[in-house]
Structure 1
């Protein structure tokens, strides 16, 4: 596998063992290639992760080997990487790493971490999200172009409510749009805002957008995955490498690029050149903070005028107050009764 190497990152020396271990056989990318990539985009990914409790998606033997999500900070965590205690829906707690410098990213890469999954909170206020994250997820029969059409309508909707979103590719066929917000609301409030956005997009783009939690009801549409805003649900960070054979990355975009972008063009090999040319196009995100009052008022109108209350949580969640029945529609119906919406 080759002898260990040492990489310098912001005044920190990080030791990388087995640097020649192949992580992406299809492309031949090694562990050292991964670490050097993260060093190249260091300011960008550090901006995306800074002070955020972060789950590590680890592939110690590469994308063709076994993987796992590491939520709790490893026992051998260096004392220069801070942690924060976060609470899971179950009521249990864990201390997660909170990167503050690129050295922490390289240290995680040494452990085989490909993708970083930061919480939408900072370590000094872990119960109050500072980002509204909107996940535009293409369902079978749809693709990136369909997500782009929805993203433009989403941009218009956000603008109407005095909000601004920063788009990025998911690393697959979808798009993510992040809105920095004041950390004044709970996870429940932020999720309620995401549901309101999804329902409004569903109304404006009937037949093209869905908020249906059950896959059997979604059809060939773009799913607004509102549950990505629930506590302990995370989205891959900007610049994270995704565990697919061609080593794609989640690429930050400006709105003028969204139409012509091709997600497969952003990968471990191509992103460094793009970054060297234009830098982190989301660098100004932390300079802005928006309020959710208008979206929460929209949620109130949905409930008051149309009877649209809460929606199902993920299956591993405890039953939540006001949540509708969490049963797949096709299994909930009585014999001989036609399917009904939840």
Structure 2
């Protein structure tokens, strides 16, 4: 896949992707020598990119300025500068220390089949529903699935991360044959680690519609829950196929996500 193909991809899907990037600090995964070469994360303006927004350094004291992508020009210029992946914070700039979502990344261990991962995603959804929380689904663009939960931005990162960890620990305790709450490949052979670690301050998750710097260049695609059983894998769509797929979609499967705000206070008490 050529760089021009990636540039054209981001230009063609900007209208879908920009709402997910808007007003959020972003980390960039750059591949100067291609996706098979050395990759590096960029969180700060070490090198200038046209139209890339530099945020007020006061947002993260004692750190360099953060970056944000809020225009087609910024998205495309980043791709032209060898940016493959866009990862976003769980908070918006206006309330930088109060996340408005948390993400559960279903990461399959060795021996986990795709149907097992599909079942795990549905179980995660049911668990969240029992806690009174509605969630949305997207493919990771790699091997897994992301379950995203919008929340009212009132609590700090520590509280939200601790809650997401409590959810994961509860699932691993209730269904130990399927889930594990500890990182490490040896801990999750045949099981799924639900990664809650991306919910900490300064941590990021691959943005919806971001390409992934892996062979095939899969895309993190938002989908409806009723599409789950039809999915063939976490990288079902690629930069070569995503635009055509989107052109046939009449409705946004995440339409309800944008206005959904739900407190986790009651859910925290339920898990205590």
Work out the CA distance in 2 between the residues paired with 1:144 and 1:79: 40
1:290: how far off? 1.1
**Alignment match, 2:168:** 198
**Alignment match, 1:114:** 84
In terms of Rg, which structure is larger?
A: 1
Aligned mate of 1:274, from 238, 242, 245: 245
1:79: how far off? 5.9
Aligned mate of 1:59, from 23, 27, 31: 31
1:232: how far off? 2.2
User: Match of 1:258, SS?
Assistant: helix
Check 1:84–1:148 CA distance in 2 against 1; reply closer, same or farther (3 A cut).
farther
1:145: how far off? 2.1
RMSD: 1.9
User: Match of 2:124, SS?
Assistant: helix
Aligned mate of 2:106, from 128, 136, 150: 136
Work out the CA distance in 2 between the residues paired with 1:244 and 1:75: 24
**Alignment match, 1:34:** 6
Q: Cα deviation per residue 1:240-294 (whole Å; 9 max; x = unaligned)? A: 1101121111111100111120234310111001111116432442211111112
User: Match of 1:294, SS?
Assistant: helix
Work out the CA distance in 2 between the residues paired with 1:267 and 1:79: 26
Q: Tell me the TM-score normalized by structure 2.
A: 0.92
Q: Do structure 1's residue 226 and structure 2's residue 196 form an aligned pair?
A: yes
Q: Is 2:21–2:70's contact at 8 Å kept on the other side of the alignment?
A: yes
Check 1:80–1:188 CA distance in 2 against 1; reply closer, same or farther (3 A cut).
closer
Q: Tell me the TM-score normalized by structure 1.
A: 0.74
Aligned mate of 2:48, from 76, 82, 93: 76
User: Match of 2:120, SS?
Assistant: helix
Work out the CA distance in 1 between the residues paired with 2:200 and 2:140: 18
**Alignment match, 1:261:** 231
1:43: how far off? 1.7
**Alignment match, 1:175:** 145
1:39: how far off? 1.6
Work out the CA distance in 2 between the residues paired with 1:75 and 1:142: 41
- Pick which of 40-49 and 51-60 moved more: 40-49
Work out the CA distance in 2 between the residues paired with 1:239 and 1:164: 21
Work out the CA distance in 2 between the residues paired with 1:179 and 1:73: 30
User: Match of 2:230, SS?
Assistant: coil
Q: Cα deviation per residue 1:81-123 (whole Å; 9 max; x = unaligned)? A: 3525453xxx741312112222211111111111101111111
Could you tell me which runs of 5 or more consecutive residues in structure 1 were left unpaired when the two chains were aligned.
Answer: 1-28, 302-342
1:69: how far off? 0.5
Q: Is 1:196–1:295's contact at 8 Å kept on the other side of the alignment?
A: no
Work out the CA distance in 2 between the residues paired with 1:34 and 1:217: 36
How many aligned positions are there?
269
**Alignment match, 1:331:** none
From the two aligned structures, give the one with the greater helix fraction.
2
Q: Is 1:192–1:296's contact at 8 Å kept on the other side of the alignment?
A: no
Q: Cα deviation per residue 1:116-171 (whole Å; 9 max; x = unaligned)? A: 01111111121111111111110111133222111111111221222111111111
Work out the CA distance in 2 between the residues paired with 1:281 and 1:103: 26
Check 1:232–1:162 CA distance in 2 against 1; reply closer, same or farther (3 A cut).
same
1:224: how far off? 1.2
Check 1:84–1:179 CA distance in 2 against 1; reply closer, same or farther (3 A cut).
farther
Q: Which of the pair has the greater relative contact order for Cα pairs under 8 Å at 6+ separation?
A: 2
Aligned mate of 2:217, from 241, 247, 256: 247
User: Match of 2:223, SS?
Assistant: coil
Q: Is 2:86–2:206's contact at 8 Å kept on the other side of the alignment?
A: yes
Check 1:219–1:64 CA distance in 2 against 1; reply closer, same or farther (3 A cut).
closer
Q: Is 1:196–1:298's contact at 8 Å kept on the other side of the alignment?
A: no
